[in-house]
């Protein structure tokens, strides 16, 4: 375990929801048709010195957040705020939120962190504003978007708490780096954290499974997503960038929807069946 008062990030993965009988073939190309999982949903808590950072925030099951959770059949849920309280973190303690992308399950509770500075790729926010303004016939693009989340991001902009990141940035915060990873969405980013056990990568939804990197049956051929609005071409280039960032070591990769629930990493707490896992 790393010491948050040192120069390294102390990193935990916090599970807060699971979908029901999610068909893997609907997420990654070439998965067996009958492979289903109660797929976990998670975000990351990273602490270092005076910084309390979330990589994504999960979502709240209320109002439009409840409606979209029902639409995508995510029946198993615990409040992300409750899970953070288990780690001694109150909402006002959170200094920064680095958002991988704008899907409801990744930024659905940003309105609950009144002091946090939000960091999201400029292209991610602007592309959704463009997509959501298109005629209803283009609704496929924005199916996983909750417009209220974009409203909350706009509120943060008015309060000068929204940082629109433009591409790759080293040391966005000391020892925290972001990389543009388009494919799943147009302005997705993945996050690199320097920790006592080396650099860790938070995947966002650039990958759903180690198979995206290793290939089916460890073929070595990258596997694109079926759940994406960007091109397979861009996705594979992003997967390659992640593979290089982890130097081929999958133990360095935090997959937010990891069907194996971060196997091999120590479980720090388990609350109502939802895990908090030490990643650093």
Residue choice 12, 37, 61, 103 for contact with Zn ion (CB under 5 A): 103
- C-beta closer to Zn ion: residue 111 or 183: 183
Interface with Zn ion, residue 124, by CB under 5 A: no
Nearest to 97 by CA among 53, 59, 157, 60: 53
Is the Cα torsion angle 202, 206, 210, 214 positive or negative in sign? Answer: negative
Interface with Zn ion, residue 257, by CB under 5 A: no
Gap between the Cα atoms of 15 and 144, Å rounded: 19
Nearest to 227 by CA among 77, 72, 34: 72
Interface with Zn ion, residue 61, by CB under 5 A: no
Q: Quick check: 143 and 128 in contact, CB under 8 A?
A: no
- C-beta closer to Zn ion: residue 61 or 103: 103
Beta bridge partners of 254: 202
Interface with Zn ion, residue 179, by CB under 5 A: no
- C-beta closer to Zn ion: residue 102 or 213: 102
Torsion, Cα of 108, 112, 114, 118 (10° steps) = -20
The distance of closest approach from Cβ of residue 138 to Zn ion in the complex, given in angstroms and rounded to an integer, is 18
Q: Quick check: 198 and 133 in contact, CB under 8 A?
A: no
The distance of closest approach from Cβ of residue 111 to Zn ion in the complex, given in angstroms and rounded to an integer, is 19
Interface with Zn ion, residue 10, by CB under 5 A: no
- Contact range with Zn ion by CB under 5 A, out of 26-34, 57-65, 89-97, 100-108: 100-108
- C-beta closer to Zn ion: residue 106 or 177: 106
> What distances in angstroms separate CA 279 from CA 72, 126, 184, one per listed residue?
28, 32, 24
Interface with Zn ion, residue 56, by CB under 5 A: no
Interface with Zn ion, residue 205, by CB under 5 A: yes
How many residues line the site for Zn ion (CB under 5 A)?
Answer: 2
Q: Which residues of the chain form contacts with Zn ion (CB under 5 A)? A: 103, 205
């Amino acid at each position: 375990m790393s010491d948050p008062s040192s120069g390294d990030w102390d990193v935990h993965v916090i599970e807060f929801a699971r979908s029901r009988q999610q068909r893997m073939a609907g997420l990654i190309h070439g998965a067996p048709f009958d492979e289903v999982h109660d797929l976990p949903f998670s975000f990351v808590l990273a602490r270092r010195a005076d910084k309390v950072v979330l990589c994504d925030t999960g979502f709240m099951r209320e109002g439009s957040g409840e409606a979209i959770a029902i639409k995508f059949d995510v029946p198993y849920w615990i409040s992300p705020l409750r899970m953070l309280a288990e780690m001694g973190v109150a909402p006002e303690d959170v200094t920064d939120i680095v958002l991988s992308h704008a899907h409801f399950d990744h930024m659905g509770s940003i309105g609950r962190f009144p002091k946090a500075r939000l960091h999201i790729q400029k292209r991610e926010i602007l592309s959704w504003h463009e997509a959501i303004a298109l005629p209803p016939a283009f609704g496929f693009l924005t199916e996983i978007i909750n417009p209220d989340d974009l409203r909350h991001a706009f509120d943060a902009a008015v309060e000068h708490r929204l940082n629109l990141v433009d591409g790759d940035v080293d040391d966005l915060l000391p020892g925290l780096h972001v990389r543009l990873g388009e494919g799943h969405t147009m302005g997705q980013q993945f996050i690199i954290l320097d920790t006592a056990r080396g650099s860790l990568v938070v995947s966002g939804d650039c990958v759903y499974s180690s198979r995206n990197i290793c290939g089916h049956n460890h073929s070595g051929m990258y596997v694109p997503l079926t759940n994406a609005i960007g091109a397979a071409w861009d996705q594979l280039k992003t997967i390659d960038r992640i593979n290089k960032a982890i130097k081929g070591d999958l133990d360095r990769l935090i997959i937010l929807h990891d069907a194996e629930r971060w196997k091999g990493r120590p479980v720090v707490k388990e609350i109502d069946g939802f895990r908090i896992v030490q990643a650093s």
